[in-house]
Amino acid sequence: MIGRVAGLIVHRGGDHVVIDVRGVGYVVYVSDRTMAALPAVGGAAALWTELLVREDLLQLFGFPTLLEKEWHRLLLTVQGIGAKAALAILGTLGAEGLARAIALGDWTTVKAAPGVGPKIAQRVVNELKGKAPAVMALGAGPGPTVAAPVTAEDSAVVDLPPPPPPSPSAAATAEALSALLNLGYGQGEAAAAVAEAAGRAPEAATPDLIRAALKLLAPKG
């Protein structure tokens, strides 16, 4: 399994790039959104990848974040959605836009993706609405980072007592708030929605809090 490639872009196609990794060129298919964010030929790039294996075909699909990769995998579980259709949806909406559309049942937004008709869009929303909050929770913390090299100073062992773990309700509230902030909501409105949702269901898990808060933030009328 090829989970990530990092190297120099040696070619940019209409829907793919070729990334040279120590003399081996990997053809990686990407969405329009990802393509626009990648550097020109000669620039360095790193993408999380998903390898699609068929009897007569091997294809790599690339994503800027692990969260987007997880959304792509989830979209593939929907009947009628292939790898490139899933890529088109992510290229149109992004991970955050797709999460918001599914959580709010907004299939017309999903339909805006090229090649996605109303029936497929409705199927995406209906089949994934129960799974969306769990994937959204994956992005509740800070964005993915590249690990820095370990130095001698970093490797020194410091025997400190571990901090006490947060209570389940506090952790779920913090994760839900972070997820809403990642979706673009303001600090005030996100905090108010999460607080109200948590007040109604104090023992709710993170996915349930996210779903309830999004419903509170949805336009009325």
Q: What is the pLDDT of residues 77-92, one digit of tens each?
A: 998 899 889 999 999 9
Mean pLDDT of the residues in the chain: 80
Same domain? 129 vs 72: yes
Residue ending a domain, choose from 63, 78, 103: 63
Instruction: Pick 170 or 114 by higher pLDDT.
Output: 114
Task: Report the CATH number that the domain containing residue 122 is assigned in CATH.
Answer: 1.10.150.20
Taking CB atoms within 8 Å and a gap of at least 24, the contacts of 9-17 are: 9/38, 9/39, 9/40, 9/41, 9/42, 9/43, 9/44, 9/45, 10/41, 10/42, 11/41, 12/38, 12/40, 12/41, 15/84, 17/45, 17/62
Residue ending a domain, choose from 12, 34, 63: 63
pLDDT tens profile 34-90: 999 999 999 999 999 998 887 777 889 999 988 899 999 999 999 889 988 999 999
Same domain? 57 vs 82: no
Domain span at 186: 168-217
Task: Report the CATH number that the domain containing residue 42 is assigned in CATH.
Answer: 2.40.50.140
Residue 172 has pLDDT above 80, yes or no: no
Q: Give residue 49's pLDDT.
A: 92
Q: Give residue 170's pLDDT.
A: 66
Total tally of structural domains belonging to the chain = 3
Does residue 155 form part of some domain?
no
